[in-house]
Amino acid sequence: AQKVTQAQTEISVVEKEDVTLDCVYETRDTTYYLFWYKQPPSGELVFLIRRNSFDEQNEISGRYSWNFQKSTSSFNFTITASQVVDSAVYFCCVNAGNMLTFGGGTRLMVKP
């Protein structure tokens, strides 16, 4: 069985603040993949990033960065200089054994 915990259900920040979304996962598999998806108010799910269990390098893409720490089973997501358009629900997911398991999601509200 696998599980993803996103302890922060809602976060509210003011535009230009940095914000980190936490993700802790559980899996007994040694090979697995981690994902982040964004769900804007329009409702669709947008793929953001994929990381495999053997690659602990942090990744930066523009204002987005991801910190993967296998030792603590965490895959945290940071948005630098947040913008109103970043307001959405963000889901962390783990895929081990062909089943994609989602966390409960973190609703991020960025106020102008």
Give the one residue of 12, 56, 81, 97 binding other proteins; rule: CB under 8 A.
97
**Residue 46 backbone phi and psi in degrees, to 5:** -115, 125
Exposure class string for 22-58: b at 16+ Cβ within 10 A, else e: bbbbebeeeebebbbbbeeeeeeeeebbebebeeeee
Task: Please state the φ and ψ torsions of residue 17, each to the nearest 5 degrees.
Answer: -75, 155
> Nearer Cβ to other proteins, position 41 or 112?
41
Does position 64 interact with other proteins (CB under 8 A)? The reply is no
Given the complex with other proteins, which of 9 and 58 has the nearer CB atom?
9
Least CB distance to other proteins at residue 70 (A): 16
* 95 touches other proteins by CB under 8 A: yes
d(CA 104, CA 106): 7
Residues that bind other proteins in the complex, under the rule CB under 8 A: 4, 6, 9, 31-33, 35, 43-45, 47, 50, 52, 91, 95-105
